[in-house]
A and B are shown apart, each in its own frame.
Chain A
Amino acid sequence: MKYDKLSIKKLAVVLIIIFSTSLHLPLSANEDPLTMGIFPRNSAKLTINAFTPLATYLTQKLNRKVKLVTTYDFASFWRGVKEQKYDIVHYNQYHYVRSHKEYGYNVFAMNEEFGKSTISSIILAKKDSDNLTIEDVVGQTIAFGGGPKAMVSYILPLYMLGKANVSSYQFESIFAKNPPNAVMALFFDKADIAGVGSSVPDMSVIKNNIDTSQLIKIAESESIVHLPWAVKNNMPLELSTEIQKLFITLNNSTANRKILNSAKVTNFIVANDSDYDRTREIVLDVIGIQY
């Protein structure tokens, strides 16, 4: 029953969000709502909670409903990208460079987390294990977050391991539901090593669920630009510009800063496609495809 209640709560939250955003549609009733898709970096519940204020803000500012959408896993999310269901989309760097090439999505902003607009990957191990150097990953099970399309939690660690002459054939890879789960898999001994973004151990979902002091960072990759925000290629320039403007000015007012806090970012900053060239190089190196 508890579970039922929780499900009902979740459903109620989604409905409330939908209802509340619809209430604030002042606007051009004839225009279709904008769909803002958020990749499952965290659980759906956390994701909805984190970005609902932003969607509400955009709805108000754009005078057009902005529908917030997330998915249970990366595969489902990517199908939405592939089908171009999202007018505004927030995903990882790999998603962007591929969607840009394949579906025309254009980046207009990127996250600034913990005051940084870049992010790196780290290789984590448990302190009480024997895996204290990057070479020790050989023969171990490495948990990655989100799946093979995860940029910071898979592609970038593989790139880093490759640079350390550790081939993906030299270890067993498992993919956790998302990056935090990769760390949790390490913690719960389902993996010997975890490869995730450098900010993941600092995420509340991690700190609240596991004792990170038992973990040790044995390697960290180079930094790449942070997670991008992109719009569908057919979005009018005015709208995309307006959206970009709304994003990058959120940090200008105290009231809007709450939206940033809720989204677990310190700011949104302007991003250009060229900012993700390095990402394209790394992807090319790891996957072998040029986006």
Chain B
Amino acid sequence: MFRKNKNRSWIRSLGGKFVLPIVLILTITLGGSAIHTYTEDKNSAYAALHEKINNLSNLVVQISPNAILSYDFHSLNNYIENLTQSEDIVYAVVISPEGDAMTSYMDNNNPYVSPYIKNQKNDKSNSIHDVVKLMPKINTHPDIIQKIYPIEVAENELGKIYVGISSKRIEEETRNLFVQQIVVSISIILLLCILIYLIFRIYTLRPITQLIEGSIRMANSNLDTEVTVYSEDELGILGRCFNNMMEKLKASNLEKDTVLSQLKDLNRNLEKRVEQRTSELIEVNKELEHLALHDTLTGLPNRTVIQDSLKHNIHFSKIKADTFCIFMMDLDRFKEVNDTLGHNYGDSLLIAVSERLSNGLRDTDVIGRLGGDEFAIILPSTTLDEATFVADKLIKTIEPVFIIQDHALSISVSIGISNYPQHGDDATALMKAADVAMYHSKNTRIGRSIYHDSLDNRRADQLNIMGELRDAINNEDLCLYYQPKVDTQSQKIIGVEALVRWQHKTRGLIFPDDFIPLAEQTGLIKPLTSLVLKLAIKQAATWNQQNINISMAVNLSMHDVQDEDFPKLLSNIMQHNKVKQVQLMLEITESTIMSNPVSVMCVLEEIANMGINLSIDDFGTGYSSLSNLKKMPVNELKIDRSFVMDMAQDKDDRAIVESTIQLAHNMGLKVVAEGVETSEISKQLIELNCDIIQGYYISKPIPVDEITEMLSKDSPAIENSPTRNASS
């Protein structure tokens, strides 16, 4: 801002600009006066000198003739000596008209003379010299003025007095006077200038300085100190105007400060909010980053992290010539949990499983969730033997029952193991190998398996099957086998369950477990169901024409009951084959119903409204609630074979079967026990008032010709039950 420039030249200041012209004027005036006085004094001094010398010389001129005429050279010399004693006279010599000196006196001590004196004697002031020769030498000195006075008597010249006058004294005196006058003049100038400057400073500079300091204070935002006003003249008025201006500026600044303060507060709040938002954004970014790299449900790393980790391990294993293993793992029957108890249970189960798995691993191991119930685990620096041990350990870890929201859930896992570098040297190959091994474990229910090339071939084989299945469906190359359902009271076959079989050209008969899951995965389940219904209803119509009126049970998949168009499809098929609605029994698994009870209920009610009977298949494994069951438009329950098959040895299973029968009866439903493989079980079921039994004890699923023959006999089915075929 503004500040005093202390280095500023005084000459450029206002005081300097005011005083310097005065100094100049005074210097010119007094200097001119001094020079004039000096000149006048000098001229006067010279005039006085000349007058004095003239007087003295003329006196000598007057008295000299007597001495000359009387040859009184001694007196003449004395006259000259006396004349020379006079101040300013350097020498005086009387020269005859012939040019000869008539006096010899010369003051040898005179500073103008002494330099030219040879053999000067200290004790003799008047050594004799040739004054005629000496005189011109002395005259060469610039101070010397020579004057000549003739000595005459009656117009006869007796000689001349040559007088050498020194102007030094006059010059010095006038110069000293000049110097004195200059000193006095300078003193006067200084005094006057100081006085003028002091007056100027008091009456002009001081108010101006006040204004300058006030301006500096104003520039430095100091508006509290007013400018001192010393007078009522123009500068005083200016000072008052300045103070007024400062007051107004102060008020303006106050207002501005208030606004600025408000702005600062707003800015501070804005900054705080920005900071807060930034912090939130950072958190969100962290979360997003976490979400991008982790599974939101379990918090485990996701597929991206697993793949990166895999690449990382491959890289370092290559460098260190190390080995590591990968697990691909999914939960068995997790889909049923999800379908039966709902996704909340499934999610909770996944969380619990991930915790157990994580706890069963080393810190260096990496576990991630790839999606659904599929997990991947990377075991750095691990051989296949060590990996097998870890897999077994994890399987055991998962074995204990999970308590999820008061439900005890038992679940198992299938693990596929691959090894770097044995089964691949890139992430894709290793994951694919582990995946193939996992499917092998799942399909064979052996818990865990290590990848080998044959597994990969099998998987390729499965893919081939998928293509052939599509063709088979389109070409209706599939056939139905029928397993009879026997009424325990009449012991007659009252119905059959249609079970699809694929008579492959080269592979032979293929059972549903080998292609139904594939059909579900690839979307072929819908045309497959449609085909099965079509074949079953067509067969029922055929049997009706043969006067065989039994119920035809067909299994529906979850996809069917979740398809709103399914009832329409069903209706079209039935109308096309003219089958009574009551003859058709559609079986839906308990878990299918519980996967989405509301939508399934809608479809089921529509089907029921069509007069078609409904049965709940595999009851006891789907965790259905009684309240839901109560609302279901079903006609029967089919107790899951897992309870039935062991009920003869397992009291718990018998109790479950018994209570299920009682429950169903209480709800007005008929009960079917499937998986009846022995007479003992048959007897116990009869004792428990089970309405219908089904199983190998009665008959394995048999082709249409055989079942048709069986139905044609119209004999008790239990007694004539065929020999059990364990291989069915």
Nearest B-chain residue to A185, judged by Cβ: B71
Residues of A within 8 A of B86 (CB): 1-2
Cβ of B126 under 8 Å from chain A: yes
With A188-B100, A190-B102 already in contact, the answer to whether A181 and B71 are too (CB < 8 A) is yes
Q: Look across to chain B and name the residue whose beta carbon is closest to the beta carbon of A176.
A: B71
B355-390 contacts to A (CB < 8 Å): none
**Any chain A CB within 8 A of the CB of B104?**
yes
Interface pair A177/B70, CB less than 8 Å apart: yes
**Is there an interface contact between A43 and B75, defined as CB atoms closer than 8 Å?**
yes
Asked whether any CB of chain B lies closer than 8 Å to the CB of A180, the reply is yes
Q: Beyond A176-B73, A181-B73, A181-B74, is A1–B52 a contact (Cβ under 8 Å)?
A: yes
Q: Which residues of A lie under 8 Å from residue B720 when comparing CB positions?
A: none
| In the complex, chain B residues 415-469 whose Cβ is within 8 Å of any chain A Cβ | none
A112 CB, min distance to chain B CBs, angstroms: 24
Identify which of A161-169, A205-213, A236-244 touches chain B. Answer: A205-213
Residues of A within 8 A of B105 (CB): 209
In the complex, which residues of chain B have a beta carbon less than 8 angstroms from the beta carbon of A205?
74
CB distance from B207 to the nearest CB of A (A): 66
Q: Cα distance A265–B467 when bound, in Å?
A: 182
Which A residues lie within 8 Å of B59 (CB)? 3
Are B71 and A182 in contact, with the CB atoms below 8 A?
Answer: yes
* A132 lies within 8 A of chain B by Cβ: no
Answer whether A143 and B83 are a contact pair too, CB < 8 Å, given A208-B124, A209-B105.
no
Which B residues are in CB contact (< 8 Å) with A180?
74
Contact (Cβ within 8 A) B73 A2: no
- A3 contacts B124, C-beta separation under 8 Å: no
User: CB distance B70 to A188 under 8 Å?
Assistant: no
Q: Check B75–A177 contact: CB distance below 8 A.
A: yes
Q: A185–B101 Cα gap in the complex (Å)? A: 10
The tally of residues in A whose CB lies under 8 Å from a CB in B reads 29
- Counting chain B residues whose Cβ lies within 8 A of the other chain, the interface size class is 20 to 34
Contact A209 B71 (CB under 8 A): no
Which residues of chain A in 130-183 are interfacial with respect to chain B, using CB atoms and an 8 Å cutoff?
Answer: 143, 174-178, 180-182
Q: Contacts A188-B101, A189-B98; is A177 near B56 (CB within 8 Å)?
A: no
Q: How far is the CB of B110 from chain A (nearest CB, A)?
A: 15
| Pairwise interchain contact A3-B82, C-beta atoms closer than 8 A | yes
**Residue pair A178, B74 in contact (C-beta under 8 Å):** yes
Judged by a CB distance under 8 angstroms, whether A6 is at the interface is yes
Q: Which chain B residues numbered 32 to 65 have a C-beta less than 8 Å away from chain A? A: 52, 55-56, 59-60, 63
Which of chain B's residues have a CB closer than 8 A to the CB of A189?
A: 96, 98, 100
Interfacial chain A residues near B67, Cβ < 8 Å: 177
- Residue in B71, B72, B96, B128 whose CB lies within 8 Å of A211: B128
Tell me whether A54 is interfacial, beta carbon within 8 Å: no
Interface: A273 (CB within 8 A) = no
Q: Distance (Å) between the CB of A59 and the closest chain B CB?
A: 28
| Docked-complex contact A2 and B85, CB < 8 angstroms | yes
Interface centre among A176, A178, A184, A191 (most CB of B within 10 A): A184
B324 within 8 A of A: no
Q: Is the C-beta of A187 less than 8 angstroms from some C-beta in chain B?
A: yes
Closest to A180 in B: B74
Q: Contact between A175 and B56 (Cβ–Cβ < 8 Å)?
A: no
Residues of B within 8 A of A2 (CB): 56, 82-83, 85-86
What distance in Å separates the Cβ of B70 from its nearest Cβ neighbour in chain A?
A: 5
Interface centre among B52, B67, B103, B104, by most chain A C-beta atoms within 10 angstroms, is B104
A6 cross-chain contacts in B, Cβ below 8 A = 82
Query: B77 touches which one: A176, A178, A209, A211 (CB < 8 A)?
Result: A209
B723, CB-defined interface residue at 8 Å: no
Q: How distant is the Cα of A280 from the Cα of B128 in the complex, in angstroms?
A: 39
With A and B bound together, what is the CA distance between A1 and B56 in angstroms? 6
Contact residues in B for A210 (Cβ distance below 8 Å): 104, 128
Given known contacts A1-B56, A209-B104, A184 and B73 CB-to-CB distance under 8 angstroms:
yes
Kindly state the separation between the CA atoms of A175 and B71 in the bound complex, as whole angstroms: 7
Given A1-B52, A3-B82, residue A209 in contact with residue B126 (CB < 8 A): yes
Bound Cα distance from A208 to B63, whole angstroms: 22
**Contact across chains for A3 and B56 when beta carbons are under 8 A apart:** yes
Give B634-658 interface residues, CB cut-off 8 Å to A.
none
State the Cβ distance, A29 to closest chain B Cβ, in Å.
38
A174 x B71 contact (CB < 8 A): yes
Partner of A209, one of B52, B83, B96, B128: B128
Measured CA separation A184–B103 after assembly (Å): 9
B546 CB to closest chain A CB (Å) equals 194
Instruction: Annotate A1-18 by CB proximity to B: 1 below 8 A, 0 otherwise.
Output: 111001000000000000
A184-B77 contact given A176-B71, A211-B128, CB 8 Å threshold:
yes
A73 contacts the other chain (CB 8 A): yes
Q: Give A176 to B73 CA distance when docked, in angstroms.
A: 8
Among candidates A3, A45, A177, residue contacting B72 with C-beta atoms closer than 8 Å: A177
Question: Chain B residue with minimal CB distance to A214?
Answer: B128
Instruction: List A contacts of B103 (CB < 8 A).
Output: 188
B571 within 8 A of A: no
Query: What sequence of 0s and 1s flags, for each residue 190-227 of chain A, a beta carbon within 8 Å of any chain B beta carbon?
Result: 11000000000000010011110000000000000000
- Given the known A-B contacts A1-B52, A209-B126, are A177 and B74 also in contact in the complex, defined by CB atoms under 8 Å? yes
Interchain CB contact under 8 A, B104 and A187: yes
A171 to B: closest C-beta gap in Å: 16
A45's nearest neighbour on chain B, judged by CB, is B78
In the bound assembly, the distance between CA atoms of A177 and B75 in angstroms comes to 9
Residue of B nearest to A2 (CB): B86
Please encode chain A, from 33 to 51, with 1 for each CB lying within 8 Å of some chain B CB and 0 for all others: 0000000001101000000
B77 close to A177 (CB less than 8 A): no
Interface flags, B116-149, vs A, CB<8A=1, else 0: 0000000010101100000000000000000000
Tell me whether B79 is interfacial, beta carbon within 8 Å: yes
Q: Which of B529-552 contact A (CB under 8 A)?
A: none
Q: How far is the CB of A27 from chain B (nearest CB, A)?
A: 36
Which of B63, B74, B100, B101 has the most CB atoms of chain A within a 10 A radius of its CB? B74
Interchain CA distance A237-B87 in the complex, whole Å? 54
Docked CA distance A1–B86 (Å): 9
| Chain A residues with CB under 8 A of B60 | 3
A187 proximity list for chain B (CB < 8 A):
73, 104
**Which residue numbers of B lie inside 8 Å of A, CB to CB?**
52, 55-56, 59-60, 63, 67, 70-75, 77-79, 82-83, 85-86, 96, 98, 100-105, 124, 126, 128-129
* Known contacts A184-B77, A209-B126; 20 further A-B pairs (Cβ under 8 A): A1-B55, A2-B56, A3-B82, A43-B74, A43-B78, A45-B78, A177-B67, A177-B71, A178-B74, A180-B74, A184-B74, A187-B104, A188-B73, A188-B100, A189-B98, A189-B100, A190-B71, A209-B73, A209-B77, A211-B128
Q: List 14 A-B contacts (CB under 8 A).
A: A1-B86, A2-B56, A3-B60, A174-B71, A177-B75, A181-B71, A181-B73, A188-B101, A188-B102, A189-B100, A190-B73, A190-B96, A205-B74, A209-B74
Query: Which A positions have Cβ atoms within 8 angstroms of B?
Result: 1-3, 6, 42-43, 45, 73, 143, 174-178, 180-182, 184-185, 187-191, 205, 208-211
State the 3 A-B residue pairs at the shortest beta-carbon distance, nearest first: A177-B72, A176-B71, A184-B73
